[in-house]
Amino acid sequence: MNWVTPTKQINVPHDLIRFKQSDGCQKLQKGISEIVQLVQGVKVPEGVLDMGIVTRDQQPQPTIISIELNNNIRKIVDIFEILNKTIDETPPVQESSRFGNRAFRDWSEKITTIILKGLEGMGEQGLLEELSWYFINSFGNPTRIDYGSGHELNFYAFIIGLMDYDKLPHDGVQLLILLSKYYDLCRRIILVYRLEPAGSHGVWGLDDHFHLMFIIGASQYCEDRTAPSVQSLLNPMILGKEKSLNLFANAISFVLKLKSGRFNEHSPVLMDIVTRVRNWEKVRQGLFKMYNVEVLGKFPVIQHFYFGSIYRCD
C-alpha cells in the first residue's frame, strides 16, 4: 500500500457529484453504518462521560473507566488525557470577542506531536501517518477558531480507517467509550476557547456542532427495552438519569447547558424530533437521511475533507 498525506480535492460545488460517487464516500457511509449497528442497544458504561461538561454551573470532573480497554483504544484515550492536560497548560487569553479565543491556535500547534507520539506502535507507520491527519483535524479549525460536523466526520474517518485495518475492535462498548471521550474533549475545547459553530444553519440546524452524536445515541436506544420513549426524553428527571448512559441524551444536555430560553425556540429541529417522531428507529432513520443531505451533501462541509489512499475521491 502506498500511503500518502491527504490532500484537498473538493474545490468547487460541482466536485460534490464526484465525491458522492467516490470510493471515499462509500467507505465513510459503510463505516458509519457499521459503528451505528455495533452500538445498537448498548449503554455508555457509568462513569465514562463527564457530567460536568453537560451540567450548567459545573466544571469538568474526574471520570472512571471500570472496563478493561483494548490496547489501541487505551492508547487513544491516553492521548485524550494528554490533550486535556494541554488545555490546562494553554489557558484562554483575555480578550473582548464573544467567540473564538486565539489561545486555541496555540493549543492546536501542540497537538500534532502529542498525537503522532501517542499512536506509535498501533500499526504500520505509513497507515498511522495518513490516518493521523484526520485525528489531528478533528478538534476544530485553528484559523477560523470553529468546530462543526466536518471535524466530527474527520474523527469517524480516523476510527473507521483503523477498524478497516483491524487496529480497533468491532465492539460497541469499546467504541462508545472512545466516542464518549472524544465528545467530552471536543466540548471542553468549545467551552474553554469559545469555538464558533462551523457552517451552522442557526436555529434551523440539528445542532451547532454535532450530528453523528445524535445518530449514535438514537441507535443506542434501538432494541433497548429499558429505553425511555422519544417523547419523554425532555423530562428533566429522565434526561438527568439518561445523560450519563446515552449520547443522544448527553448531547441534548449539552445544548441545554449552552443555550438559555425555550427549547422549542433555540432548538426547533430537535424539538420537532422529540415531540413528533414515534420511536427511536424512526429517529435514527431520519437523522441518517438528514446527515447524507446536510453533511455529506453540502459543499461548505465536504470541501474541507481531504483525500488520500485510504479515502479516495474517485
| Residue 313 covered by a domain | no
Residues of the domain holding 226: 15-299
- pLDDT tens track of the chain, all 314 residues? 799 999 999 999 999 999 999 999 999 999 999 999 999 999 999 999 999 999 987 788 778 898 999 999 999 999 999 999 999 999 999 987 778 999 999 999 999 999 999 999 999 999 999 999 999 999 999 999 999 999 999 999 999 999 999 999 999 999 999 999 999 999 999 999 999 998 766 666 899 999 999 999 999 999 999 999 999 999 999 999 999 999 999 999 999 999 988 998 899 999 999 999 999 999 999 999 999 999 999 999 999 999 999 999 98
Residue 4 burial class via C-beta count within 10 angstroms: exposed 0-12, middle 13-18, buried 19 and up: middle
| Residue 155 covered by a domain | yes
| Residue 310 covered by a domain | no
| Residue 5 covered by a domain | no
Q: What is the pLDDT of residue 150?
A: 97
Rounded to 10 degrees, the C-alpha dihedral 158/147/175/85 comes to 100
Distance CA 243, CA 151 (A): 23
CB-CB contact of 139 with 186 (8 Å): yes
| Residue 30 covered by a domain | yes
Angle at 57 between CA 65 and CA 242, to 5 degrees: 45
Say which CATH number the domain at 176 has: 1.20.120.1150
Distance CA 186, CA 153 (A): 13
User: Computed from CA positions of residues 252, 255, 260, 263, in that sequence, does the dihedral angle turn out positive or negative?
Assistant: negative
Q: Which of 311, 259, 308 is nearest to 4 (CA)?
A: 308
| Residue 304 covered by a domain | no
Residues contacting 221, CB < 8 A, separation 6+: 41, 227, 228, 246, 248, 280, 283
Q: How many domains does the chain have?
A: 1
Q: What is the pLDDT of residue 185?
A: 98
Distance CA 238, CA 119 (A): 39
Q: What is the pLDDT of residue 61?
A: 79
| Residue 2 covered by a domain | no
